[in-house]
Amino acid sequence: MSARPLLRISDAANGLLAAAGLIVVAALTAPNFGPGARLALEGVLVGIWGVYALQLTDTLVALRTKDGPAPMSEFTIDLLAVVVPLAGFLLAGPQDQSLYCGIWLLKPLRHSTFFRLLGRVVSRAAPNLVGVTSLFGIVLFGASLIAYLIERDVQPDKFGSIPQAMWWAVVTLSTTGYGDEIPQTLAGRVLAGLVMMSGIGIFALWAGILATGFFEEVRRQDFVRNWQLVAAVPLFQKLGSAAFVEIVRSLRPRVVPAGAVICRKGEVGDQMFFIVEGRVSIATPSPTPVELGPGSFFGEMALISGEPRSATVSAATEVSLLSLYSEDFQMLSSSNPEIAEIIRKTAEARRGQAPKG
């Protein structure tokens, strides 16, 4: 049996180990630990380093055998996590040796999808972010220059040069306001007010650009996932590309656990469902409930007729669904009468099976 699974550390364990290591690194900078406690803390660091050395072995094997996902970024992080503390141990003085374990800050990034998402957002929004950063630089330098001109005679110790005034400008522009440098003249105070307001605007722009970037990226990912789900429903394979894109945008994915009720008899129905995976059970009046599986749809009767739901539908297994709301169904009907006709005919056939009265 291969020893590799024993060397594998889950992402959660990786994060916990890194957090424990970094807490120890921080603790070792505090002067109030005796030699015994310091030795114990350093022992913890050595233990974590040992685990990371094993992890590096696993990553190296994966790289060589192409077995499992071990991209270069993962290998680089694993390598740095072992080599940098080792270099610290060999090269730094005893007081600073443990600081090199600070490299373990990178460990939680190994598999993080969030940081990959952040990277994509920042690279897509780069031109706008650079624009706002330039604006920040322009306002910063302009404010420093004007503050220098206004305040240099009154407070030469604080505004005696543009770099000195720049510290005031950064603190004011970011609305941090340490209060160590305060304009004394009226003109200086008016300038401070303007700089503060510009700062709020610039930070709002940064936040807005990033928030929009995140929203668009998540929507893009949803679109790709929905695309795959919609492609799995045979009914939609007839659609032309434009109609397919339209339907991908309209359908909303949903996963229902086994046993949960999806819609109840007598309820108002404003949506119908397509089954991507799993099975649903329909409580019809017939002695045995009807079961539907992947590719089938249900909930169309109430949607078309406007009448209450004709039966209770529940998930027989965990089921992956795509729901289509009535306004989107109208859109589908007008752009793709052929599909709408199939759905209508199925509804009629099912209605025909229901007992009259």
Nearest distance, CB of residue 260 and ligand CMP, angstroms: 15
Q: Which is nearer to ligand CMP, 164 or 310 (CB)?
A: 310
Nearest distance, CB of residue 23 and ligand CMP, angstroms: 56
Residue whose Cβ sits closest to ligand CMP: 302
- For binding to ligand CMP (CB under 6 A), which residues are involved? 263, 269, 282, 284, 290, 298-302, 309-311, 313, 350, 353
Q: Which is nearer to ligand CMP, 111 or 265 (CB)?
A: 265
Nearest distance, CB of residue 271 and ligand CMP, angstroms: 9
Q: Which is nearer to ligand CMP, 148 or 297 (CB)?
A: 297
Closest CA to 297 of 245, 228, 251, 248: 251
Angle at 185 between CA 183 and CA 190, to 5 degrees: 75
Alpha helices in the chain (DSSP H): 4-7, 11-28, 35-65, 72-91, 113-124, 126-151, 156-159, 162-173, 186-231, 241-250, 300-305, 326-335, 337-353
Q: Which is nearer to ligand CMP, 11 or 307 (CB)?
A: 307
Cα–Cα distance measured from residue 86 to residue 19, given in angstroms and rounded to the nearest whole number: 19
Nearest distance, CB of residue 253 and ligand CMP, angstroms: 19
**Structure token digits, residue 156:** 């030469």
Burial of 104 (0-12, 13-18, 19+ CB in 10 A): buried
Q: Which is nearer to ligand CMP, 15 or 289 (CB)?
A: 289
Nearest distance, CB of residue 243 and ligand CMP, angstroms: 22
Nearest distance, CB of residue 334 and ligand CMP, angstroms: 21
Q: Which is nearer to ligand CMP, 111 or 344 (CB)?
A: 344
Helix (H) or strand (E) holding 255: strand 252-256
**Structure token digits, residue 256:** 């229902």
